[in-house]
Amino acid sequence: MQDDVVDPAAHNRAAWDKSVEEGNEWSTPVSSEEVERARKGDWSIVLIGRQPLDRSWLPADLTGKDVLCLASGGGQQGPILAAAGARVTVFDNSPGQLGQDELVAARDGLELHTVLGDMRDLSAFGDATFDVVFHPVSNLFVPDLAPVWRECFRVLRPGGTLLAGFLNPDAYLFDHEALDERGELIVVHKLPYSDVTQYSPEERAAKFGADAPLEYSHTLTAQIGGQLDAGFVITAFTEAPHQSNASAAYMSHYFATQAHKPS
């Protein structure tokens, strides 16, 4: 069932603005104490799940590095990286999410720039603008990945680093209600999965709520092969379980890649 009139960017912008109002876990800003520790070099950020990022995936010294936090609003990673010395731009589809970064920056005296937009279109930035693109788990909210990887490659400087987190597509195999309510892994969906093609608007509203973000699964060919097709060289890979989902006992829910734009 295809809803041909749905605009995923517009729908998910409103959905995430509402999530901010409701206090979503990924919309809760870091504390002033965390910012102060980061200024002293004691910091960690999350790329997948609740697993602290291996800091060797980033430049040893972030001072003066231009970092794009892509689809990474919420007042979490961007402020910490700014406190650690980076020149940070947070790009997100949700004004509410960006507002959380702006709140922390104003509260704690951080220099941090925010830009509103769709992760598939980074035309707000010139070629070779950033040293690092930090892209936590968020590309499940867009139906197509090729433009995301092309744009990341374009805006990175030669030798620049892309850190990308994404969902294991197998996570979408299972019945949502059985998993969340009873902890049962019952296979019901064929991959690739999409909220838009799998359910009518009425069914989505009944199952997830009318205001829930739209989600799309992506093949590993689209995730990993897409980065390679864009020109990246993948240099590291890791995985993590879901922080609370019943699937954690059986499979890794999240994957992450470190990739570089050749010099």
What is the residue whose two structure tokens read 């699964």? 217
Interval 159-195: pLDDT, tens: 999 999 999 999 999 998 888 888 898 999 999 999 9
Interval 97-120: pLDDT, tens: 999 999 999 999 999 999 999 999
The pTM of this model reads: 0.95
Distances (CA, A) of 140 to 154, 167, 222, 247, 251: 21, 7, 12, 18, 18
